[in-house]
Amino acid sequence: MKFQIEIKHPLAWRVVQELGHILNYLSLSERRPTIFMPVSPTPYMNGGPEEFLSWVIETSEPAFTPDICAEWLLGRMPQPVDSPEGWDAETEPDDANE
């Protein structure tokens, strides 16, 4: 899946951190079948504006569906996921000690 994040939004870095944590390394002993990463065309070809920066979630497992990914994210991201108050940098999710 390829998508964009409004990187000028005050909570953008928190979103990137949460996605990287959940999709790449939730724990050292529990490796994920996913990779979350930024992708960009060559900067000198487009002048480097941030609107060309995209983010990708990839998997090497055919059985890992977008629905499974959505369940992982909804179960572990700050709640409510669509409310900025849930993403306060001072607040840790309930499962932060796992």
What residues does each domain of the chain span? Answer: 2-87
Structure tokens at 36: 């979350």
pLDDT tens readout for residues 42-81:
777 665 566 778 999 999 899 999 999 999 898 888 888 8
Q: What is the pTM of this model?
A: 0.77
Sign of CA dihedral 30, 34, 36, 40: positive
Distance, CA of 28 to CA of 77 (rounded, Å): 19
Grade residue 90 by pLDDT with cuts at 50, 70 and 90: low
* 46-to-5, 43, 74, 95 alpha-carbon distances in Å: 18, 6, 34, 41
Distance, CA of 25 to CA of 33 (rounded, Å): 10
Q: What is the pLDDT of residue 42?
A: 78
